[in-house]
Chain A
């Protein structure tokens, strides 16, 4: 499982990059969902986010899931290409699979990479 050290992680399996303001779902989340077949971003550029607001809806062959913002802030960009290529979330969740970017992002209850890895390991048993 890939867990980049420069990112912050939410309990609900989203990542947030404090440097760029980008966020998306983690490698653990995509592997649990399996093949993702549908993505819809639920927010638009200019929207104000609160921690825990649903930013996207994702469906795989196994399940559907809401993706929640791990931070508050203003939406500055949306990765509109994802809806045509939902499989990007499986192949490259941390780079091409970014969902939205925010500015002035204040993180809620997030973990560093080491804590998140431990959290994931606990859940697989």
Chain B
């Protein structure tokens, strides 16, 4: 087995391991002011920072970057993560000096352009989602969920309705939903799916009573299915006094087609780092704005960006900060992820316009259905109907010991990022595939061909899969050892063999 740390391949040392005393990458000019003497109490004898020349630093990180795989390298069908291509124009706009060189504590008169962008983004997200008001503060999706749950709590509390302690969460919801609700002390009640991948209405009705705080619903859900009874689900929860939270992670299927606010959702978070092409993952930062219906608008976090003085033909409006009447308070220092999140998402929405956004969702759904059609005779698809932007297949075959993990690893040999696997939990050996709208037919075909070939290899040469990947920098990682024996330190390269 090609074990990482004992392999004969050279592991890139850490930046500290590469350090050598006396090397440095900068030389400071002589100061043009007298040297000040620092107080003795603030001085230290050693400062263990790595010492390297600039070229060594650049080469180190360049080597590390080549270990990586990103959406700029190739297809990245990671289900429910919407790893779409991130247009490079977003990188230009978020580096415009007016956005980059401002400080969040500057007087509002000096940052009107930034505030105008945030205000417009709030307005656009309202129009896209059908909600009454939007906060841009939350740092990412799960933070948006937590913000949403706090808003729901403030609403119930404002009505003196304090016996609501149960949050209903379907088994096809995103995994962060129970965590976000649990963090506020709520009891989580799981609702099963029916055989078509919808929320089981009977099970839902059985749970609904005056202790229901609300329902957190991902629609389309993690099976890639649009709930066929979504309006009835919302009605049932509303009828018992609960609120319905929408997890907007899968909004990429709905742009310009359905507005969650119109069909009764009370609130929802957006993932700007999924739907609106802000880089997702290490490149982030994420951004998870929350939109709410009119009856929740007073509880939004403060501050929001608002118009302080209306403009006219001659004078632009004065933008500034406003605090909703019963605000839950601040959810984040300053104003959310402005440059990395808001500016990029603004650029992306402006670039596409309403028709372009609708195209995005239609192509995302078309691409997913094309892959589903090409793969459904090779891989068992347990909930097999027209999917939305993603679908879930089973990574197993009758009479074979090949598992979803083996298939995922083998895909790396074909130079594809594996799909999400082992989620959602309601599908055995789940492979959750989301192609996004940015891939062309050639790429989709190459991916489908690879999966079909892998299914054949699973029958004829299963060891190819069990031992995969064999063409990558490192072979199969020992996930069990890594999880059971936590080693949180680093050693010099020559010590690896001895320590492991």
Report A's interface with B, CB cutoff 8 A. 35, 37-38, 59, 61-63, 86-87, 124
Contact = CB atoms under 8 A, between A and B. Distances in A.
B355 interface: no
B308 interface: no
A63 B483 CA distance: 12
B48 to A, nearest CB: 32
Contacts of A37: 480, 483-484
A38 B483 contact: yes
A86 B423 CA distance: 22
B483 A62 contact: no
Contact of B422 (A35, A63, A87, A124): A63
Nearest to A62: B422
A122 B479 CA distance: 30
Nearest to B403: A34
Interface in B406-428: 422-423, 425, 428
Nearest to B479: A61
Given A37-B484, A61-B479, A63-B425, 10 more contacts: A35-B479, A37-B480, A37-B483, A38-B483, A59-B483, A61-B480, A62-B405, A62-B422, A63-B422, A63-B423
A63 B480 CA distance: 12
Contacts of B479: 35, 61
A37 B483 CA distance: 6
B428 A35 contact: no
A53 B168 CA distance: 17
Nearest to B396: A124
Contacts of B480: 35, 37, 61
B425 A61 contact: no
19 contacts: A35-B479, A35-B480, A35-B483, A37-B480, A37-B483, A37-B484, A38-B483, A59-B483, A61-B479, A61-B480, A61-B483, A62-B405, A62-B422, A63-B422, A63-B423, A63-B425, A86-B484, A87-B484, A124-B428
A61 B405 CA distance: 10
Interface in B444-486: 479-480, 483-484
Contacts of B422: 62-63
B251 to A, nearest CB: 26
Greatest chain B CB density within 10 A among A62, A63, A87 is at A62
A124 B394 CA distance: 11
